[in-house]
Structure 1
Amino acid sequence: MEWLTTWTAWHWLILGFVLLIAEILIPGIFLLWWGLAAVVVAGLMAFVTALTLPLLGIIYAVLATIFSIMWWKYQHGRDQADEKHSVLNQRNHAMLASRGVVQEMGDNGIGRGRFGDTTWRIQGAGLNIGDTVEVLAVQGITLIVKKI
């Protein structure tokens, strides 16, 4: 147990690199921050030699926690921003600015248009069968279109 009381910067570096290698083998972006905290503690030991092992352990735990929280806040903010601009699983919103051809048209300005391999309910003024249209907006399941 003597090795536990005489940790050097090398021990912290080895711990850091073992955690970084484990992060590569078991991805999850969590061991990365623990490994980086151990490398920082090793660097700190190179400059300040009077630190005790319990104090170094506390510094390591605090750094690992801070790094993990900083990463979580960064990633959480990025995920929130991506959700606001994502059209994943919202095909009707992905249809904005797409072009299609009118297939059916009623007297009330509501009809069906073909967009790719799918037909959609469309609404627009002055449309005839065969007209090329562009999607301006989405209201429920109806695409608001204009003739181009």
Structure 2
Amino acid sequence: MAEMFSMLGTWNWLVLGLLLMGLELLAPGVFLFWLGLAALLVGLLSFALSLSWQLQILMFALFAVAAVPLWRRVARRNSGASQSNPFLNKRSDALVGRVFTLEKPIVDGAGTVRIDDTIWRVAGPDAPAGSRVRIVRADGASLTVAAD
């Protein structure tokens, strides 16, 4: 085992780093990326400095452990992006309070309204086609409306 570790060289670390990053593409989870980055750093430092295999493994372990808080900081910073758009992936919630024109009349409590390129089912009091309605509640792909 020690003989195998003593054979570790710069190219081994670079290949390992690229392999781990490539595996990240196949099984995304952001974990293998940081291990691959740690291996690439050890490989690049091995180019510049003549390091023993013990030091290379120690550096890899330190870089891999240091990557965890770095990843958490990056993830925390990026989570603020979803707060800037609170309706991301909640398109129907973004429609509440807006006024639209009925495409098909509401008969027996059901009708449709066209919003951009999508036809939405609406529920509410009976109204003829062309009436203006305000969306008061969103429930999945169904909208509840009231006369405007």
Please give the TM-score of this superposition, normalised by the length of structure 2.
0.61
Please show how residues 1-148 of structure 1 align to structure 2 within 5 Å.
Answer: 1-49=2-50, 51-79=51-79, 81-82=81-82, 85-86=86-87, 88=89, 91=92, 93-96=93-96, 97=98, 99-101=100-102, 103=106, 114-115=112-113, 116-121=119-124, 129-130=128-129, 132-133=131-132, 135=134, 138=137, 143=145, 146=148
C-alpha contact (below 8 Å) 1:137/1:145 kept by paired residues: no
Listed as ranges, the gaps of 5+ residues in structure 2 are 114-118
3-state SS of the aligned residue for 2:29?
coil
Name the Cα RMSD after superposition.
3.7
Q: What percent of counterpart residues are identical?
A: 23
3-state SS of the aligned residue for 2:124?
strand
Pair member with larger Rg? 1
For residues 8 and 100 of structure 1, what CA distance do their matches in structure 2 show?
69
* Residues paired across the two proteins, number: 133
For residues 41 and 15 of structure 1, what CA distance do their matches in structure 2 show?
10
Per-residue deviation, 1:142: 5.5
Listed as ranges, the gaps of 5+ residues in structure 1 are 105-110, 123-127
Please give the TM-score of this superposition, normalised by the length of structure 1.
0.61
